Amino acid sequence: MNLPLSNHAYGEHALVLPPDDPTSHDDADISMETRLRMYRMLQEMRQFEKRAYDLFMQQLVKGTTHLSLGMEAVAAGFGAAMDTDDYTFATYRGHAHTLARGVPMEGVLAELLGRANGLLGGKGGSMHLTSVEHKVMGSYAIIGAHLTIANGAAWSAQYRRSGQVAVCFFGDGTTNIGAFHEALNYAAVFKLPVVFVCENNQYMEYTAIGDITAVRRPAADRAPAYGLEPIVVDGNDADAVHLVAAEALAHARSGKGPVMVEALTYRHGGHSRADPGKYKPPGELEAWLAYDPIKVYRGRLERLGVAAADIDAINAEVAAAVDEATEAAKNGPLPDPRAAFTDVWADGGHQWRS
């Protein structure tokens, strides 16, 4: 027999290593203002999620939570490129994408803690972060569907001639499910203003993407099947992402139809809190830690002349904000029991019979 997984033991698949030149985008045409904004975002995402992890360990965060530690440059690069009115569609691994749109940390953290001041009043949880006010149109926890829903928002923007673009983030593993295919063809046929962003972090939950995918690049190698250009970007370099994001958004906004971007990155931790990450072959995590998006970006700022003290000041400001949000979340009241019975229907209630 010739099964892909009979050629190697589980966990012994080939390593995918990061690029090794962090200077490649030092002279990219990106303003220092934008760069500092992205650096701050990276810090917010990182420090926020580390805090979420700590709270998890203290058993304050219930259920499950999926961190994107190590993948922040994708969220920051896109977040900084999007217009205020553009739509974000994220997954259960959506903390960073939510913060990237300016959603306050307190609401997100309080939601993880199941408090009344949570973004969703405790009814959604970590996997369903949504802030319509910030055009974060939801985080979706069942693989695939949200690509088709993002199409709908893009269709609406097209119909309303609003100039908005829908940006839809999803993982490498998601490229193998049916809804991915339906969404991509549909978007291409109707030239919808949507940008699909595959965060290829090399794994679905515990299985290496290469072990269960017929092509090497799960998104890019599928793009031509929808008449799209294959685009791959270094997902650990916020500047690289930012440039590609700006171009993709402009393309979609101009009516030329969808774009799909595959961003190569890596998650430092496990899939979710339950995962010890044993399937990662030796050396892989270390290589990606050495190419950590924050390290890459801080190095760049320093080479471009930003004083270490100024950078440290940003870090400290973010740390203070995270502390403040933590306090507010911890001090948040439990949801009113009556909240469990509201908003099944648009009339605010849950009655289904007379």
Partner 1 sequence: MAILTYREAVARGIAQEMERDDSVVLIGEDVAGAGGVFKTSAGLLERFGPERVIDTPIAEQAILGAAMGAAMTGLRPIAEIMFSDFFAVCWDLVVNEMAKTRYMTNGQVTIPLVVKSGNGGSLRFGAQHSQSIENWAMAVPGIKVVAPSTPEDVVGLMAAAVRSDDPVLFFEHKGLYSSKGEVPDGPIVDELGTARVRRPGKDATVVALGLMVSRALAAAEQLAERGIDCEVIDLRSLVPLDAATVLESLGRTGRLFTVEENPRMLGWGSELVAIAGDDGFWDLDGPIVRITTPHIPLASADSLEDLMIPSVDRIRDEIEQALKP
Ligand X SMILES: Cc1ncc(C[n+]2csc(CCOP(=O)(O)OP(=O)(O)O)c2C)c(N)n1
Which residues here bind ligand X, judged by CB under 6 A?
Answer: 93, 141-144, 170-174, 199, 201, 203-205, 271
93 binds, among ligand X, partner 1, Mg ion, none (CB under 5 to 8 A by kind): ligand X
The Cα–Cα gap between 234 and 18 comes to 8
Please identify, using beta-carbon distances, which residue of 173 and 193 lies nearer to Mg ion.
173
Please identify, using beta-carbon distances, which residue of 164 and 236 lies nearer to a copy of itself.
164
Which residues lie across from 194 on neighbouring strands?
A: 166
**Of 22, 77, 114, 258, which lies in the binding site for partner 1, with binding defined by CB under 8 A?**
114
The site for partner 1, by CB under 8 A, has a size of 89
By beta carbon distance, the residue nearest ligand X is: 171
The token pair at 343 is 């908003």
From the number of C-beta atoms within 10 Å of its C-beta (0-12, 13-18, 19+), residue 262 rates as buried
Residues 241-280 contacting partner 1, CB under 8 A: 274, 278-279
Give min distance, CB of 146 to a copy of itself, in A. 14
| 87 membership: H or E segment, kind and range | strand 87-91
Cα torsion 111, 285, 197, 79 to 10°: value is 60
Query: Residue 166 to residues 108, 201, 258: CA-CA distances in angstroms?
Result: 22, 22, 10
**Of 21, 54, 83, 185, which lies in the binding site for partner 1, with binding defined by CB under 8 A?**
185
Q: Kindly list the residues in this chain that would bind Mg ion in the complex (CB under 5 A).
A: 171-173, 201
Q: Kindly list the residues in this chain that would bind a copy of itself in the complex (CB under 8 A).
A: 1-4, 144, 158-159, 176-182, 184-186, 188-191, 211-215, 221-222, 224-228, 255, 257
311 binds, among partner 1, Mg ion, a copy of itself, none (CB under 5 to 8 A by kind): none
Determine phi and psi for 288, rounding to 5 degrees.
Answer: -75, -35
What is the rounded radius of gyration, in angstroms, for the C-alpha atoms of the chain? 20
Please identify, using beta-carbon distances, which residue of 37 and 273 lies nearer to partner 1.
273
Which residues lie across from 196 on neighbouring strands?
A: 168, 260
**Of 57, 250, 319, 334, which lies in the binding site for partner 1, with binding defined by CB under 8 A?**
334
Amino acid identity for residue 304 in this structure: L
Query: Residue 40 to residues 85, 290, 293, 301, 314: CA-CA distances in angstroms?
Result: 21, 20, 12, 12, 6
The answer for 352, left when phi > 0, alpha when psi is -120 to 50, beta otherwise, is alpha
Residue 290 engages partner 1 in binding (rule: CB under 8 A): no
**Of 105, 166, 259, 294, which lies in the binding site for partner 1, with binding defined by CB under 8 A?**
166
The Cα–Cα gap between 70 and 101 comes to 19
Please identify, using beta-carbon distances, which residue of 110 and 241 lies nearer to partner 1.
110
User: Contact at 8 Å (CB) between 61 and 112?
Assistant: yes
Give min distance, CB of 176 to ligand X, in A. 9
142 binds, among Mg ion, a copy of itself, ligand X, none (CB under 5 to 8 A by kind): ligand X
Residues 44-63 contacting partner 1, CB under 8 A: 62-63
62 binds, among partner 1, ligand X, Mg ion, none (CB under 5 to 8 A by kind): partner 1
